[in-house]
Amino acid sequence: MSPAAIERPMLESACSKSSDESRRSFANLRGVQWRTDLGILPPLSSSTIDDLRKVTADSRRRYACLRRHLLVDPHLPKDGSNSPNLAIDNPLSQNPDSTWGRFFRNAELEKTVDQDLSRLYPEHGNYFQSTGCQGMLRRILLLWCLRHPEYGYRQGMHELLAPLLYVLHVDVERLSEVRKEYEDHFTDKFDGLSFQENDLRYNFDFKKYLDSMEDEIGSHGNATKVRSLDELDPEIQTIVLLSDAYGAEGELGIVLSEKFMEHDAYCMFDALMNGAHGAVAMADFFSPSPVGGSHSGLPPVIEASAALYHLLSVVDSSLHSHLVELGVEPQYFALRWLRVLFGREFSLENLLLIWDEIFAADKNKLEKGAGDDTGSTFGIFSSPQGALISAFAVSMILYLRSSLLSTENATICLQRLLKFPENIDLRKLIGKAKSLQALALGPSISSSSPRCGGAYNHSKSMVVRSHTLPSDSISPKTPLNMVPDSYWEEKWRVLHKAAEQRNGSSGKQNPTPKKGWTEKVRLSLSRTASDPSPAKAGCGNDHKPSVRRRLLEDLSQELGLDEDTEKAGCDEVSGQKDHICKVVEVENQDGVNNDFTCVAEERCLSGIAGSEENSSLFSDPSSPLSGANNHENDSEKSSVASNSSIDETDDHPEANHEDTTLPVSHLPNNATLNSGDNNEATGKSLAVPKERKLLSGKFQWFWKFGRSNDGEETSEKGNGALDVTKSANDAGSQSSTVCSSVDGSCYSSTTGDLVDQNMMGSLRNLGHSMLEHIQVIESVFQQDRVQVGSSDNFSKNVLVGKGQVTAMTALKELRKISNLLSEM
């Protein structure tokens, strides 16, 4: 047929251009593009306009049939019978099969649908809220749900449908624009002046000829000059062709047709929901029960959310673990993201761009290798389109990375995830998603241990979790960003290393400048602050244990500053001690006295160290404050642990005293932990001043904590500490308290059982370490006090003599405590 023959070259020329830009030629005809992507229309490059028309007409006919069949008019007798059985077909009939029964059920469904439709896209209300559009949406949704009773109508389906209808509408509008501009090509005027090659039907009407002649002469040139179709833009060409009414199907075959928008939208919606041609079936996301063929017995949307988290863990483990710690399960936000394909997170224009990408993604299911059966359990990764969807979600999470990491509150995290910011660079997001998609499709995903289970049941495994750090399993080609481990994981590692080392390791290492290290600790601590500076992040994870080892060695030989400083501190503190103890008792509000007393004690001891803060040896009080906070947080674990252990074993009054001594012993621990101070002291004095500094810092911190309990403000670090101790306080069982502090989660659940053994072990270790440190300190005391020499401060010399005695008593009590601990 010549029309087809003529059209074919045109179409192909149009398409060849389009293939250059891959999809840009239909940038303005999204409706057609999406229909092609969804599989409703055959791809333009390999088909004629006739094929297109045929397919379009078929799909529309199907819809019309469905509509006639399912939309019920109860007045019309069922099945064409003229005398309906009135006992069944009356309006009040209870019979579910009766026409009226179906009518009422449809009415119910319509009511549900209407509830959602009335709230659809109010910002674009002039289109979406118009009665015509609403009527179409309602009918489409109704019919789809009636056709698929196993899914029913779920909220969110309307949001999937709305953009589909919208793009069709936009296409039709574009068509009418083009029609206005290029009128001649749309009309069938054969007045001799314009002759369209693609139209062979010769319809010469004299009258019309005369009229049109006059029109042409009189026209103000709205229509462009007549030219052949070839001269037009390929885009315009295709528009003209697609709106052509000629062909076997007649009007039904016009690809761009306003009259059949409902039919087309239904076909698109159906294809989208059912996952035609291997695409991700959106309908699965709405089903509450596991789809057959899934490896895990989870509903598909839960599985997909877990897949999302899995991908995130591979890409950015610290963010992932942060979210998991907080208890932010993926489905809280991913449910909405996935079910509506991000419809609620972006404005309509952005959403159209995103859907362009998603629909264009390759839909073929990947061949999975043999070894993957054990690995990948995520159905969503089995096709590039699914991988793109999850990759896009992960890139959205990564976009919010800094704001997510900065908060310790799960609710705030969720709020941030659910309220995606307005002004975003969509291209960047999409680009990132594409790179992540490649990652998701790669073998690394299957090879890394599927943490979906972990993500799903994270609450039980707070302690255990640290054993399965994903960093171990990251495949070499992965990370797009190197992210430091979270603060608490470092702590855990440090604790364990310290435990090993206390059990008799030996190895000296030179202290590396610890400035950066403390900085790093401080910064990683300041999760409540806005941004952890990644610069410091890389510093000395390993430095901690090595430093600690070194310090222990040094301590044993250490002289100098020790006694001076201690005495100085003790002296000052002694005066304050009573006061503080009183404060402590005042603060014994919640019955968590022991913690408070410990706080107080530490405060005392920090007082001891406080004097030294004035020294040039140590950094300014303000900085040790922060540094101390670091130390504090480092040490709080142990201190809180010890507190809790004391709670378990001691009476109140005894606890008071013991608590006093406790922090001192712990502080040496912490001193070793926190090697890096802003300290230019020599190596010798390094250890002890650090201890002191730790003491001071810790006390400052706890003091602040105590003050906060009086209702005063705390620093943000105080907050962090507050939370930790609060969690410690709140926990019914001490073990869970310790656990929470050990793991560093402010919101750990109180799972006492799981953690008991770990706690016991750690307590025992603590006891040992305490003992060792006490020995060290005592040895230090027994030596001659004078030393120090370099970079000493004046105040120490003054206070040396006085502080000695108190320090000794404090040490004795520390020893008692450590004995108790060791016995546990």
Partner 1 sequence: MVLVLAIGDLHIPHRAADLPPKFKSMLVPGKIQHIICTGNLCIKEVHDYLKSLCPDLHITRGEYDEDSRYPETKTLTIGQFKLGICHGHQVIPWGDLDSLAMLQRQLDVDILITGHTHQFKAYKHEGGVVINPGSATGAYSSFTYDVNPSFVLMDIDGLRVVVYVYELIDGEVKVDKIDFKKTATTRSSH
Positions that interact with partner 1 (CB under 8 A)? 74-75, 86-87, 90-94, 104
Considering the complex, state which of residue 106 and residue 795 has its C-beta at the smaller distance from partner 1.
Answer: 106
User: Which structure tokens are listed for 108?
Assistant: 């119910």
Beta carbon of residue 74, minimum distance to partner 1 (angstroms, whole number): 8
Residue 468 is given by DSSP the state: G
| Residue 263 near residue 64, CB atoms below 8 Å | yes
- How far is residue 748 from each of residues 136, 158, 636, 674, 728, measured CA to CA in Å? 50, 39, 16, 25, 10
Contacts of 739 (CB under 8 A, 6+ apart): 462, 463, 748, 751, 752, 754, 755, 758, 759
User: Which structure tokens are listed for 358?
Assistant: 């998603």
Considering the complex, state which of residue 85 and residue 509 has its C-beta at the smaller distance from partner 1.
Answer: 85
Considering the complex, state which of residue 73 and residue 784 has its C-beta at the smaller distance from partner 1.
Answer: 73
How far the first Cα of the chain sits from its last, in Å, is 95
Contacts of 815 (CB under 8 A, 6+ apart): 661, 771, 774
Three-state secondary structure call for residue 735: helix
Beta carbon of residue 105, minimum distance to partner 1 (angstroms, whole number): 11
- Residues 329, 313: Cα–Cα separation, whole Å: 13
Considering the complex, state which of residue 93 and residue 447 has its C-beta at the smaller distance from partner 1.
Answer: 93
Beta carbon of residue 117, minimum distance to partner 1 (angstroms, whole number): 20
Beta carbon of residue 83, minimum distance to partner 1 (angstroms, whole number): 10
Considering the complex, state which of residue 75 and residue 220 has its C-beta at the smaller distance from partner 1.
Answer: 75
Beta carbon of residue 414, minimum distance to partner 1 (angstroms, whole number): 38
Neighbours of 81 (CB within 10 A): 9
Considering the complex, state which of residue 46 and residue 83 has its C-beta at the smaller distance from partner 1.
Answer: 83
Residue 685 is given by DSSP the state: H
Contacts of 604 (CB under 8 A, 6+ apart): 573, 576, 577, 580, 660, 699
Residue 150 is given by DSSP the state: T
Beta carbon of residue 310, minimum distance to partner 1 (angstroms, whole number): 46
Task: Please compute, for residue 334, the number of CA atoms within 13 A of its CA located in the half-sphere on the CB side.
Answer: 25
- Residues 520, 535: Cα–Cα separation, whole Å: 8
- Residues 376, 449: Cα–Cα separation, whole Å: 9
- How far is residue 640 from each of residues 383, 471, 643, 662, 769, measured CA to CA in Å? 50, 28, 5, 10, 15
Considering the complex, state which of residue 102 and residue 368 has its C-beta at the smaller distance from partner 1.
Answer: 102
Nearest in space to 501 (alpha carbons), one of 551, 456, 454:
551
Considering the complex, state which of residue 100 and residue 337 has its C-beta at the smaller distance from partner 1.
Answer: 100
Beta carbon of residue 51, minimum distance to partner 1 (angstroms, whole number): 43
Beta carbon of residue 84, minimum distance to partner 1 (angstroms, whole number): 8
Beta carbon of residue 86, minimum distance to partner 1 (angstroms, whole number): 4
| Residue 723 near residue 408, CB atoms below 8 Å | yes
Which residue's structure tokens are 């947080």? Answer: 633
| Residue 547 near residue 668, CB atoms below 8 Å | no
Spacing of C-alpha 524 from chain mean position: 19
Beta carbon of residue 87, minimum distance to partner 1 (angstroms, whole number): 5
Considering the complex, state which of residue 70 and residue 352 has its C-beta at the smaller distance from partner 1.
Answer: 70
| Residue 273 near residue 145, CB atoms below 8 Å | no
Considering the complex, state which of residue 89 and residue 636 has its C-beta at the smaller distance from partner 1.
Answer: 89
Beta carbon of residue 273, minimum distance to partner 1 (angstroms, whole number): 29
Considering the complex, state which of residue 98 and residue 735 has its C-beta at the smaller distance from partner 1.
Answer: 98
Beta carbon of residue 100, minimum distance to partner 1 (angstroms, whole number): 8
Considering the complex, state which of residue 90 and residue 444 has its C-beta at the smaller distance from partner 1.
Answer: 90
Q: At what angle do helices 487-502 and 752-782 cross, to 10 degrees?
A: 60
Residue 722 is given by DSSP the state: H
Beta carbon of residue 217, minimum distance to partner 1 (angstroms, whole number): 49
Considering the complex, state which of residue 5 and residue 87 has its C-beta at the smaller distance from partner 1.
Answer: 87
